[in-house]
Amino acid sequence: MNKTAFACLLIVLGAIVVILGARREDSVVGLSDAVGTTLANAWDGKVRQPGYVWYYAGGGGLMLAGALLLLRRKTG
């Protein structure tokens, strides 16, 4: 698999993960996760993130890696 195809695959996979995160945020599971996280943060003062935030971070990381791979110059 060449570099361009792999980079495009990373971008597409990242977009899919972001879409899954958005769907989870809008679901009942995401709402209960956000409420539970807010209550837990208020209870002991620690900083927590709802589970769907990790979907956004992971998808963004995959898309960034794909974009950087596309923009990287060929050396040698």
Interval 1-26: pLDDT, tens:
688 899 999 999 999 999 999 998 88
Q: What is the pTM of this model?
A: 0.81
In a domain, 67, yes or no: yes
Cα atoms found within 13 Å of the Cα of residue 68, Cβ hemisphere only: 6
In a domain, 76, yes or no: no
Query: In which domain, by residue range, is 66 found?
Result: 3-71
In a domain, 22, yes or no: yes
d(CA 49, CA 36): 10
Tally the domains of the chain: 1
CA distances from 71 to 3, 21, 65, 68 (A): 10, 26, 10, 5
